[in-house]
Structure 1
Amino acid sequence: MRPVLHGDVSSAARVLLTVPQAQRERLCARMIAEAELADRHVAATGRLHPVYGNGAFMAAARSRPLADEPSFSDTEYCRCFETVLRQLIRFQLNRPRS
């Protein structure tokens, strides 16, 4: 997966806002896996992945419906943002090092 920036996290959190809380962890992990798959595809072929794009987390997220972006005064948005950060940390800790 390409380097993750604030906009990537925000986009993913906005996707999570559109689904029930019970589905958020799994959906976030899936978006991370899709971004990783796309990044590998780009590295191997020099072409965008036909579904998941260029390997950016934002591209994987934006292939789905996004809620309007609320402020951090929205508790559910904060929870979604936290879920994304937690999943990214898990991904980084479990990622094989080359």
Structure 2
Amino acid sequence: MEDEQNVIALTNEQGDEELFEVLFTFHSDEFNKDYIIVYPAGADFEEPVDVYPFIFHPEQTEQSTEGVVDQIEDDAELAMVEEKLNQFIDDLEEEE
């Protein structure tokens, strides 16, 4: 998932758009799906920040910047995503 945007707009259940920044994306061969991890745009990292994982279905055209996200409902799939997130955080801490 190259050339991804840093900020995306997601529509909540009330139909309002909310802005989120992309923390990272990845593909799982095990589940054969793409995932996106986001956090609220403009978050202050002096406080704990909520992150939100989604299954990401990018539009299949080269010029598109759109896609669809779905909630992760499978416990095994969610555990795999959580493991990837923890590894990402560990890698960031090692770089510091």
Greater relative contact order structure (CA < 8 Å, 6+ sep): 1
Given the two structures, how large is their TM-score scaled by the length of structure 1?
0.31
Which of 1 and 2 has greater Rg? Answer: 2
Higher strand proportion (structure 1 or 2): 2
Higher helix proportion (structure 1 or 2): 1
Given the two structures, how large is their TM-score scaled by the length of structure 2?
0.31
